[in-house]
Amino acid sequence: MLGALMLMLAGLLPWRPARADTFLPPRVETYLSGNGRYRLTVTPSADISLPAREDVAPANAAQARVERRQGTGWAQVWRGPLRNPVAPSWSVVSNTGQVATFDDYAAAGHGPRVVVLYGPTGRSVRTLSLAQLLPADYIRALPRSVSSIGWGREHAFSADGRSLRLRVSIPSNKEGGLSPAGYVELSLDAATGQRAPGYAAALQRAYAQAAPAIAREQLRWEAAKAFLRAPLLAPETGDYGAWNRYLIEAYRRLDSGGRETSPKLMRVQLQAGRADLPEHRRIVEALSNPGKDPRALVFATTFAQPPEQEGLIASLAKAARDAPAGCQAGRRVYVLADDQGAAAAVAALARTGATVVRIDPSRPIAQRAQVLRALERD
């Protein structure tokens, strides 16, 4: 539930800075053991669209092959699927043939497969989430990007293969810091995946070093949870960023699956009360190609002022006439509108087949019951 709540809060408030992400497609990677006796080859799934945080059939998952040096060549030790649906972010092989993989592709620190240990024959030893490795308040203080948590790097097996040494980030006490203050080594027993002697003491030292950062993020966490519990109110000014955050959170409260997805915000820019040709084409493209970008559409004007509502509805009606009939059938489209504008939006988008959901800025939006229950549990 910790992971779900952290994703829930991501982007919700100006909670903390986060880097944007750019990922190259996963590729075949080869890793050598320190003594050069073992070689691990990881082949990503052919389908990189697989959900990174869900389990998939073994045949569709990333594949591993471990080989042992034999003379001038290599002899296969084992070959089989990994627990990662697409690919691990990084992997290592020990001097005695054990394997460890780290994180899911494009989702470091999230999900149940932050660390996965395999024995010398390929048997899965243990799968660990970040919450099983580190305390919740420590995780919240770690550096992060839009999709990933920077929890550590350059992990390695000990020379004898008996332990897996995790090089874990120490949160920075510098306000707004996007890099760790340093690293602490936390060891797992390679045969069981359990914490090795000295794990707790090393973690406690890192915790003490990062105490100011942990306390700071705890306050922000509590503020964010209070925001989630309270009815959602529209911003009182035309601040662009504040309206973006409001629209995203409104979608998440109104859509049953909104906590697992993000919408496509369409802040329509009006010229003399209408969308100009480039803006019109942008709206038509968004309506016409849900397969290209499956995110739910949320339409609002640039500054969300009531006088612009008529122009927004007229622009949607014109775009709907130019989009293929039924292009949004079975989908929900969200429009920022009052009572009068809501009926007009339904009529404007009727040709697309969309179910129009109004975001009414004049009325508080209650939090979903399951989110409130999750907040109470956490």
The torsion angles phi and psi of 31, rounded to 5 degrees, stand at -130, 140
- pTM for the full predicted model: 0.74
Q: What is the pLDDT of residue 216?
A: 95
DSSP state of 134: S
State mean pLDDT over 221-246.
93
Predicted confidence band of residue 10 (pLDDT cuts 50, 70, 90): very low
332-336 sheet: strands from edge to edge: 264-268, 297-301, 332-336, 355-359
Position 283: which residue type?
I
Q: What is the per-residue pLDDT across 262-296, written as a single tens digit (0 to 9) for each? A: 899 999 988 877 888 999 999 999 999 998 888 99
Position 305: which residue type?
Q
Place of tokens 């109110």: 233
Q: What is the pLDDT of residue 20?
A: 53
CB proximity list for 97: less than 8 A, separation 6 or greater: 33, 38, 66, 68, 77, 120, 161
The torsion angles phi and psi of 36, rounded to 5 degrees, stand at 75, 5
Task: Inform me whether the pLDDT recorded for 24 exceeds 90.
Answer: no
Q: What is the per-residue pLDDT across 110-154, written as a single tens digit (0 to 9) for each? A: 999 999 999 999 999 999 999 999 999 999 999 998 889 999 999
Token representation of residue 110 = 């999230």
Q: What is the per-residue pLDDT across 336-366, written as a single tens digit (0 to 9) for each? A: 998 888 999 999 999 999 999 999 999 999 9
Task: Inform me whether the pLDDT recorded for 15 exceeds 70.
Answer: no
CB 66 within 8 A of CB 77: yes
CB 360 within 8 A of CB 250: no
Q: How far apart are CA 78 and CA 35, in angstroms?
A: 19
Q: What is the per-residue pLDDT across 202-232, written as a single tens digit (0 to 9) for each? A: 999 999 999 999 999 999 999 999 999 999 9
* Most confident of the following: 8-22, 41-55, 86-100: 86-100
Looking at the DSSP bridge assignments, the partners of residue 334 are 298, 357
Task: Inform me whether the pLDDT recorded for 165 exceeds 70.
Answer: yes
Predicted confidence band of residue 5 (pLDDT cuts 50, 70, 90): low
Q: How far apart are CA 60 and CA 44, in angstroms?
A: 9
Q: How far apart are CA 262 and CA 267, in angstroms?
A: 15
Predicted confidence band of residue 330 (pLDDT cuts 50, 70, 90): very high
Q: What is the per-residue pLDDT across 59-110, written as a single tens digit (0 to 9) for each? A: 889 999 999 999 999 999 999 999 999 999 999 999 999 999 999 999 999 9
Average pLDDT, the chain: 90
DSSP state of 98: -
Predicted confidence band of residue 52 (pLDDT cuts 50, 70, 90): low
Q: How far apart are CA 247 and CA 22, in angstroms?
A: 25
| Number of other CB atoms surrounding residue 209 within 10 Å | 16
Q: Give the angle subtended at the CA of 183 by the CAs of 178 and 188, to the nearest 5°.
A: 125
Predicted confidence band of residue 54 (pLDDT cuts 50, 70, 90): low
Task: Inform me whether the pLDDT recorded for 8 exceeds 80.
Answer: no
Looking at the DSSP bridge assignments, the partners of residue 365 are 232
Q: How far apart are CA 164 and CA 158, in angstroms?
A: 6
The larger pLDDT score, comparing residue 245 to residue 56, is at 245
The torsion angles phi and psi of 252, rounded to 5 degrees, stand at -65, -30
